[in-house]
Amino acid sequence: MCLCRGLYQPDSHIARKFCAAIFGWAQLGTTTKPGSHAHRNAGFIRQAGEWHWGCRMNPAFRWWCQEAPFLALISRPTPYAAATLMAKQRQYQFCFGPWNISEGQDPYGPPTRPPQTFDWKLKQLKKLGFDAMMFHDDDAVPDIDGKSDAHLRKESKELKQKLDDAGVAAEMVAPRLWFSPKTIDGAYTSNDPKCRQYAIDRSLRCLDIAGYLGTDLIVLWLAREGTYLREAKNGRRSTELLVQALDKMLAYNKKIHISIEPKPNEPMDHAYIPTIGHALAIAQLTRDPKRVGCLIESAHAILAGLDPADEIDFAMTFGKLWSLHLNDQNGLKFDQDKPFGSSNLRVAFNQVRALERNGYGKHGEYVCFDVHPFRTTKVEHWLAHLVNSRRTFLRLVRKARTYDEKTARQLIADRDYAALDQMVLEHLMGE
């Protein structure tokens, strides 16, 4: 291995061939009994979608995982097909929504890419090796407000068939309560009782769609539940209205679980449920607190001035992190939905560490990327933000698993946080 490490030059053909030969030998030369501990410990093993030399079981080989050149060789930016293969070899399951293949419009300009059909998006998701798709109610049933319950059932079932044929799961359904003229002043907290009723009715239809699509997870991003000016609503009454709305959903379907996705602002000046603390606190006031949990979006936590890793640890202490929207955000400005790790790799690393130490995904939770292409992105690069986010995530899983916990513990015991800080930076830089 040392020889391979020494020989490696980024563009050396011989080194590549040599590594391949060693790799083949290590695979074929194993004489241990399949399935035994020794067998798993011998030769190369796959971990987090990458090949490692027995490092999961045998700490003696852990050095090899620290950005070994062989790994660098096989982890170069890959075309989509190779990235797909990589994703198939890990323990996490990945997901995105049809809105994440967006057309580039912003408040100041029109789309920069032509719209694509849902079928095309599903095909891309499948081709890239993602496992599930997340939905708004009207992603599943377009123009939902003008359709009867019978229509809603028919279209949802047709969609379920398409998903089954593609081998793709529906991760969640979220009512889009921020588009209609009836939700201009908020949905559940609107000052108009007729509008509040619309929001409840629409939410219950969303629960029906979830049932047809075979998921018990409802996501509530409470987009307009807040104010542009404080005097327009009564905060206490709004909190009570939110509890009433949650109670109606919980009573309507005894199987569903509701994940609240907090966001502190945008579109509102101030939202009523800005953080995970607020989401979990309001869950306690409902008729069935154990069925109300949360979804953390990295960018939303950053907009609240919080570290998303702390939000993850907090939610997972309660066993209530049921979904995740990983992305990135460059400071306190409009919601950017940048690729995961794009602005702050260390913050991304700490999110992955928090997920790893809490066992996220063990109960079937998905890692979803709520990321958007840049407005400048050309059609031929339209899916890169999704592939790159997953790739960065998997690289950071490897970084989390090869982090030198023992030295970190010693430095913490010595209160030598300067050295700890540098150790983290050098680990991330690969030196």
Which residues contact ligand XUL by CB under 6 A? 136, 174, 221, 261, 263, 297, 325, 335, 370
Rule CB under 5 A: say whether 370 interacts with Mn ion. yes
Helix (H) or strand (E) holding 206: helix 193-213
136 is catalytic: yes
**Based on the number of CB atoms within 10 Å of its own CB, is 318 exposed (0-12), middle (13-18) or buried (19 or more)?**
middle
Rule CB under 5 A: say whether 131 interacts with Mn ion. no
Tell me the closest approach of the beta carbon of residue 262 to ligand XUL, in angstroms. Answer: 10
Structure tokens at 251: 């009573």
Q: Select the residue whose beta carbon is closest to ligand XUL and give its number.
A: 221
Query: Could you tell me what percentage of the chain is helix, strand and coil, using 3-state DSSP and rounding each to the nearest 5?
Result: 50, 15, 35
Tell me the closest approach of the beta carbon of residue 388 to ligand XUL, in angstroms. Answer: 19
Q: Which does 260 bind (CB under 5 to 8 A by kind): ligand XUL, Mn ion, none?
A: none
Rule CB under 5 A: say whether 138 interacts with Mn ion. no
If the CB atoms of residues 50 and 171 are measured against ligand XUL, the closer one turns out to be 171
139 is catalytic: yes
Helix (H) or strand (E) holding 367: strand 367-369
Rule CB under 5 A: say whether 328 interacts with Mn ion. no
The single residue among 52, 176, 291, 325 that binds Mn ion, judged by CB under 5 A, is 325
Rounded Cα distance, 10 and 70, in Å: 10
Q: Which one of 52, 136, 278, 372 is the catalytic residue?
A: 136
Tell me the closest approach of the beta carbon of residue 145 to Mn ion, in angstroms. Answer: 22
> Looking at 8-16, 95-103, 252-260, 323-331, which segment touches Mn ion (CB under 5 A)?
323-331
What's at 322, amino acid-wise? W
If the CB atoms of residues 325 and 395 are measured against Mn ion, the closer one turns out to be 325
- Applying CB under 5 A, the site for Mn ion has a residue count of 3
If the CB atoms of residues 102 and 402 are measured against Mn ion, the closer one turns out to be 102
User: Which phi-psi region, left, alpha or beta, contains residue 43 (left: φ > 0; alpha: ψ -120 to 50)?
Assistant: left
Rounded Cα distance, 58 and 70, in Å: 18
For residue 400, the tally of other CB atoms under 10 A from its CB is 19
Rounded Cα distance, 417 and 398, in Å: 23
Structure tokens at 340: 């995961």
Tell me the closest approach of the beta carbon of residue 209 to ligand XUL, in angstroms. Answer: 14
Cβ neighbours for 65, distance < 8 A, ≥ 6 positions apart = 52, 53, 55, 71, 398, 401, 402
Cβ neighbours for 355, distance < 8 A, ≥ 6 positions apart = 312, 324, 361, 367
With contact defined as beta carbons under 8 Å apart, do 411 and 417 qualify?
yes
Binding mask 273-312 for Mn ion (x = CB under 5 A): ------------------------x---------------
∠ CA(407), CA(411), CA(417), 5° rounding?
130
Tell me the closest approach of the beta carbon of residue 138 to ligand XUL, in angstroms. Answer: 11
If the CB atoms of residues 90 and 263 are measured against ligand XUL, the closer one turns out to be 263
If the CB atoms of residues 261 and 313 are measured against ligand XUL, the closer one turns out to be 261
Tell me the closest approach of the beta carbon of residue 327 to ligand XUL, in angstroms. Answer: 8
If the CB atoms of residues 215 and 402 are measured against ligand XUL, the closer one turns out to be 215
> Looking at 2-10, 73-81, 275-283, 369-377, which segment touches Mn ion (CB under 5 A)?
369-377
Rounded Cα distance, 32 and 61, in Å: 18
Catalytic residues, by residue number, are 136, 139
